[in-house]
Structure 1
Amino acid sequence: MPSRLAIVTFHDPPVPPGATPWVDGTGPSPDVAVVPPDPGWPASFDLVAQRVRRALGWRALVVEHVGSTAVPGLPAKPIIDVDLVVADPADEAAYVPALEAAGFVLRVREPWWFEHRLLRGGSPVSHVHVFGPDSPEVVRHRLFRDWLRGNPDERDRYAAAKLQAAAAASAAGEHMMQYNARKQRVLREIYARAFAAMGLVEG
Structure 2
Amino acid sequence: MDSPVRLMHYDPRWKQEFLQTRSGLLHSCDGWVNEVHHIGSTAVSGMIAQPIVDVIAVVKDDAEREQALAESTVLIEGMFFRRQETPMWAAETIVLEKPRGGEPTHRVFLTYAGSPFYHSSLMIAERLQDDRELSLRFETTKVDRWRQGEGDPARYAADKAVFFAHLIEHSD
- TM-score of the aligned structures, taking structure 1 as reference length: 0.71
Amino acid at match of 2:145: A
Shift of 1:92: 5.1
Give a deviation string over 1:39-95, Cα, whole Å, max 9, x none: 121111011112211210311121111111111111110000000112435765412
In structure 2, C-alpha distance between the alignment counterparts of 1:191 and 1:70, rounded to whole Å = 18
In the TM superposition, what are the counterparts of 1:41-56 in structure 2 within 5 Å? 41-56=14-29
**Percent same amino acid among aligned pairs?**
22
RMSD of the TM alignment (CA)?
A: 2.6
Aligned residues: 165
Unaligned runs of 5+ in 1: 1-27, 196-200
Tell me which residue corresponds to 1:160.
140
Shift of 1:182: 2.1
Give a deviation string over 1:104-129, Cα, whole Å, max 9, x none: 11112479954321001246810000
In the TM superposition, what are the counterparts of 1:138-157 in structure 2 within 5 Å? 138-157=118-137
In structure 2, C-alpha distance between the alignment counterparts of 1:154 and 1:36, rounded to whole Å = 18
Tell me which residue corresponds to 1:187.
164
Tell me which residue corresponds to 1:40.
13
The reply on whether 1:69 has 2:42 as its aligned counterpart is: yes
8 Å CA contact 2:57–2:111 kept in 1: the answer is yes
Shift of 1:156: 0.6
SS at 1:120's partner residue? strand
Amino acid at match of 1:56: C
In structure 2, C-alpha distance between the alignment counterparts of 1:86 and 1:149, rounded to whole Å = 24
In structure 2, C-alpha distance between the alignment counterparts of 1:192 and 1:113, rounded to whole Å = 17
Q: Of the two, which has the highest radius of gyration? A: 1
Tell me which residue corresponds to 1:85.
58
- TM-score of the aligned structures, taking structure 2 as reference length: 0.82
Q: Which moved more, 1:104-113 or 1:94-103?
A: 104-113
Unaligned runs of 5+ in 2: none
Shift of 1:142: 1.4
The reply on whether 1:103 has 2:80 as its aligned counterpart is: yes
8 Å CA contact 1:67–1:145 kept in 2: the answer is yes
